[in-house]
Amino acid sequence: MPRLVHLSDLHFGAHDPKVVEAVEARVNDIAADLVVVSGDFTQRARTEQFQEACRFLDRLREAGHEVLAVPGNHDVPLYDVLRRFLSPLTRYRRYIDDTLCPVHDIPGATVLGINTARSFTFKDGRINEEQIALIRDTFAKSSPDNTRIVVTHHPLFALPVGDEVAPAAGRSELALDAIGDAGVDLLLAGHNHVASIHNASDLVTRAGSALVVQAGTATSTRLRDKGQSFNRIAIDGRNVTITVETWDGAQFGVEDEQRYVQEGDHWRIAGAENALDEPAQ
């Protein structure tokens, strides 16, 4: 039964050191097969911020954790214009991962990371045709019994964030065609600093039966209505249990835990009569 920890939006340089320490300790308590970090390791893509993020990841790996990482828009320099457009992810590749679209096969799951950070889009993300082909190719080669998971920083759907709707990554409609065709089960992302869960088929008609799982910010001081949080994901066939752990000022504790059951092109909360119609937060 694959078990994942999903962290996002660490924002080293605008982080809370006490929360970083607590996240690290909590992750080390969890017997996860994979720790996923869905982007925004830094606040302004500065060398010292990447170095601090690198040390955090090194400590997780030294504790025995396998880590899959993808970059976010904050990992591209904002004010260093030459670096932004000529070598936008050089520091990320040096300190975090030289592979921008990593694939990890763990027992029971194939996990593909896709880089959506771009020089020209600033805050928003984008996916390209080569990455769309990679989605199809990766899962065509994976075991049919594996749960299929795609990780991005930017959501591939327009999602509610407070009173607003945050836009989807550019070219997401093409990516969603590939995701539906490939039979992707879970889509993990961050960027919005809000934890939520949705049925892909409730958001668009073309994305198949994926469950859309958003992580809040794990360690940043840039919060919305709730404290820092991260997700735990336990997969058992067509059943997925998602636990949101939230910082209360002293420790991380369970804010919400739900088991979702996949039925056809929809997921429903276990024990509920109908499919998941509203975001679970």
Q: In order of start, what are the domains of the chain with their CATH numbers?
A: 3-269 (3.60.21.10)
Model-wide pTM > 0.75: yes
pLDDT at position 280, please? Answer: 42
- The predicted structure's pLDDT at residue 84: 53
**Strand order through the sheet with 109-113:** 103-106, 109-113, 147-151, 186-189, 211-214, 196-199
**Per-residue pLDDT reduced to its tens digit, 206-222:** 777 899 999 999 999 99
The single-letter code of the amino acid at 18 is K
- Kindly give, in sequence order, each residue whose CB lies less than 8 Å from that of residue 36, ignoring residues fewer than 6 positions away: 4, 5, 6, 7, 67, 68, 69, 111, 113, 151, 188
Per-residue model confidence (pLDDT) at position 224: 82
End-to-end CA distance of the chain: 24
Lowest-confidence region among 72-86, 138-152, 227-241: 72-86
Place of tokens 């911020």: 49
pLDDT at 49 exceeding the cut of 60: yes
Tokens of 101: 């679209």
Residue 162 pLDDT: 78
Helix or strand holding residue 223 (H, E): none
Tell whether the model's pLDDT for residue 266 goes beyond 90: no
Quick check: 76 pLDDT over 90?
yes
pLDDT at 13: 98
In this predicted structure, what is the pLDDT of residue 277? 47
Please determine, for residue 272, whether its predicted confidence score (pLDDT) is greater than 90: no
133-138 long-range contacts (CB < 8 A, ≥24 apart) are: 133/178, 134/101, 135/175, 135/178, 135/179, 135/182, 135/184, 136/178, 136/181, 136/182, 138/103, 138/110, 138/112, 138/182
What's the pLDDT at 173? 87
The mean of the pLDDT values for the chain is 91
133 close to 175: Cβ distance less than 8 angstroms = no
Q: Is residue 95 scored above 70 in pLDDT?
A: yes
| Pick from 6-15, 77-86, 196-205: least confident | 77-86
Higher pLDDT, 194 or 160: 194
